[in-house]
Structure 1
Amino acid sequence: MTETQELLNALREQRHTLLIAMRGLSDEQAAARSTVSELTLGGILNHLAHGERNWTQVLSSGTGEAPPSMFDVEQYKMPRGASVPDLVAAYEAAARATDEAVERAGLDRVVPLPEAPWEPGVVPRWSVRRIVLHLLRETAQHSGHADIVREALDGANTTAQLGT
């Protein structure tokens, strides 16, 4: 197995774990806050779908320009009128596009990143490998958040749903 396949498989495993937290949820539950945090399960999934699309655009364009929604805080919310199946489908489509873009680009390609609002004047350059590792970290982090939010919501958690 190639390094690209290994990294994408690890990312797919984290995506799968995240989606376990969404199983059996109503749209109302996905939009509900269950902790002191503003995070909701629908918001987490929406954010990660946006993240996958934004990073795919960054690595595919190679221009260093920020996609319009890259730094938009609204992506952390469940869109009004969205359904759980719609959010899952959007996330899965974004994940497929990311995987395809990574396979096309190759891990060693280096691309400029958009200038972040919190670091004006800094334009880092990352390899596609680093972007995949960032997505892996981000997905794992938010998968943990989703597990806590879900457990606080109705007692379910990924460990119980996995049968471990």
Structure 2
Amino acid sequence: MPDKLSLTPDERDGLLGFLTQQRQAMKAATYGLTDHQARAVPSASTLSVGGLVKHVSSTESGWIDRVLRIPQKPFAESMADYQENYRLGPDETLESVLAAYDQVAARTEEVIAGIADLNQEVPIPKDVPWFPDDASAWSVRWVLLHLIEETARHAGHADIIRESLDGATAMPLLAAVEGWPETSWLKPWKPAE
């Protein structure tokens, strides 16, 4: 997918297109990494590229469950699980979390395609303090905008972590992923020899 989204025929396609674009940015930050590198935490934070992929995948899946009104574990009971979603575990591979992320993305596309009205209500959970008390529901549109924002925020984190690992930056990585031709001002990323 090119760095800039093409014109879209409608709002739904536009929202899904921007979400797809942010997923691609997240996945580009993983390009060429080993599992060891994907687990590494090279900055002052405890974030890793692999852990961030795992987190955005879990977050997107959870929000789509909310859209479908699938009951979820109370947040307080699953805080350890939440924190584990920021770590690529020793039994996990980057390849496996990327494959899971692709499955989550396909599910999101399918669910959203089946919703007639983006104004459909999504109940606001009351089990965490950062959700508002003065409203009872968001819309599916709000959920999609939130997923775009959440994915973009963490794709930026992944960019910084990746650059800390080996100096690779977003545009050369994207150029390598998508096979863009080398120019005098942009060279696709290549692994160090």
- CA deviations over 1:93-143 (Å, ceiling 9, x no partner): 111111211121231101102224224893641100000000000010001
Letter in 2 for 1:133: L
Do residues 115 (structure 1) and 126 (structure 2) align?
Answer: yes
Do residues 102 (structure 1) and 112 (structure 2) align?
Answer: yes
Correspondent of 1:131 among 143, 153, 160: 143
- Look up the SS of the partner of 2:129 in the other structure: coil
Point out the more displaced range, 114-123 or 41-50.
114-123
Do residues 7 (structure 1) and 15 (structure 2) align?
Answer: yes
Do residues 45 (structure 1) and 53 (structure 2) align?
Answer: yes
Cα drift, residue 52 of structure 1: 1.1
- Look up the SS of the partner of 2:122 in the other structure: strand
Aligned match of 1:19: 27
CA distance change for structure 1 residues 120 and 144 in 2, over 3 Å: closer, same or farther?
closer
**Quick one: percent identity of the two aligned structures?**
35
| Aligned-partner Cα distance in 1 for 2:15–2:132 | 31
8 Å CA contact 1:54–1:67 kept in 2: the answer is no
Structure 1 spans left out of the alignment, 5+ residues: none
Point out the more displaced range, 8-17 or 115-124.
115-124
8 Å CA contact 1:30–1:41 kept in 2: the answer is yes
Correspondent of 2:88 among 70, 78, 82: 78
8 Å CA contact 1:21–1:150 kept in 2: the answer is yes
Structure 2 spans left out of the alignment, 5+ residues: 1-8, 176-185, 187-193
Cα drift, residue 160 of structure 1: 2.0
Aligned match of 2:43: 35
Point out the more displaced range, 116-125 or 138-147.
116-125
Q: What TM-score does the superposition give when structure 1 sets the normalisation length?
A: 0.90
Higher helix share: 1
| Aligned-partner Cα distance in 1 for 2:132–2:31 | 42
Point out the more displaced range, 110-119 or 67-76.
67-76
Cα drift, residue 68 of structure 1: 6.1
- Alpha-carbon RMSD: 2.0
